[in-house]
Amino acid sequence: MKVSLSFEKGSSKDLSIMVDALRASSTIIFALEKFKEIYPVYTPEEAIEIAKEKDAALAGERTGRTIEEFELGNSPREMKEYDGKKDSLVLTTTNGVRVLENMESDIVLIGSFVNAKACAKAACELAKEHIEIVMGGFNRTFAIEDFLAAGEIIYWIQEELENQKKLDIDDIDYYKEETGITEHANSAILASRDKEKVEKVSIKSKSGRRLAYLGYEDDVLLCVKSNITENVGIYKDGKITLYKSN
């Protein structure tokens, strides 16, 4: 099994995990507690049309701010508090949805800090030869919180594969590019191990500070908590549903 890490666009045809820690991944993960299906679309105009067609709730943001006249923003806290009656949600975001739409893998999962362990377990159940974590970033630039969230997921992937005896860090194949965990992915694991520092750095990141300035500090504090839900979203045929282990 190969485990790799990339930015914005992946290369795996097998399984990819989209990570946009602040906030799209977390919003989707918590929205799955309230909605049976989520339709991620890039433009607000398309989101409005699909919401009408599906009789769905409408959520989205641009540059962090809730889009005018939308029922919800790109907010995990709002999703946890949602008390509506609709089964479907249409979501448009600045970064995460754009990355999601470019995925070419047969299987695409949604992961972040909040579901890292559960996402890793699902990935190991579903992948055949290559798991790739794809970081969303911020405005097409590197975002440290995505790197750290990816590291948390990859750590648990490594644990799962070792338990399944599909990965051995003492074996020479572990250090080949074709198998094992790539050095880029390994660096993310190492960076993610100091929990207190990871949380502090993510909160003080450019994305974290911007969201706090806009009044979404509670969202940031929620998004950086590790392994607080077992929800894993799986993206297929234009919609996200809750992955259920066999």
Domain ranges of the chain: 2-19+104-229
- pLDDT grade for 26, boundaries at 50, 70 and 90: very high
113 band by pLDDT with thresholds 50, 70 and 90: very high
Find residue 40's DSSP bridge partners: 91
Determine what percent of the chain is predicted with pLDDT higher than 90.
Answer: 82
Q: Is the peptide bond before 77 cis (omega within 30 degrees of 0)?
A: no
Lowest average pLDDT, out of 7-16, 42-51, 73-82, 160-169, goes to 160-169
Q: What count of Cα atoms within 13 Å lies in the side-chain half-sphere of residue 83?
A: 1
CB–CB of 74/27 below 8 Å? yes
Residue 48 has pLDDT above 90, yes or no: yes
Distance between CA atoms of 22 and 17, rounded to whole angstroms? 15
Domain spanning 2-19+104-229 has what CATH number? 3.90.1560.10
Q: Are 156 and 120 in contact, with CB atoms under 8 Å apart?
A: yes
CA distance 27 to 4: 24
End-to-end CA distance of the chain: give it in Å, rounded: 21
Please give the pLDDT value at position 9. 87
9: how many CB neighbours lie within 10 A of its CB?
11
The proportion of the chain whose per-residue pLDDT surpasses 70, expressed as a percent, equals 96
The pLDDT tens digits of the residues spanning 185-221 come to 999 999 999 999 999 999 999 999 999 999 999 999 9
- CA-to-CA distance for 163 and 209, rounded, in angstroms? 38
Element (DSSP H or E) covering residue 92: strand 88-92
Number of residues in the chain: 246
